Amino acid sequence: MAAVRTVWETMSSPVPLGADRVTYFQDNHSALLSDPSAYGWYQLRMFLDAWDRRDEDDFRTLLAAGA
């Protein structure tokens, strides 16, 4: 995951300054799909979020909570 974090940190965030990244993703999912760099940024961020939360609860419970 260190390599994933290193790559993610070199990428430009597609999230406008001051916007919530989750809300922005939900509101702009279709547009983000057409931009490999932006969508890749989100994919790597999702990996990192899952990794960072791996000890919080089991996967099913996290999904049910909308994690």
pLDDT digits (tens, 9 = 90+) for 22-57: 999 999 999 999 999 999 999 999 888 888 888 877
**Over residues 3-24, mean pLDDT:** 96
Higher pLDDT, 64 or 67: 64
Cα–Cα distances in angstroms (integers) from residue 55 to residues 7, 23, 26, 44, 58, in the given order: 23, 25, 26, 19, 8
pTM over 0.85: no
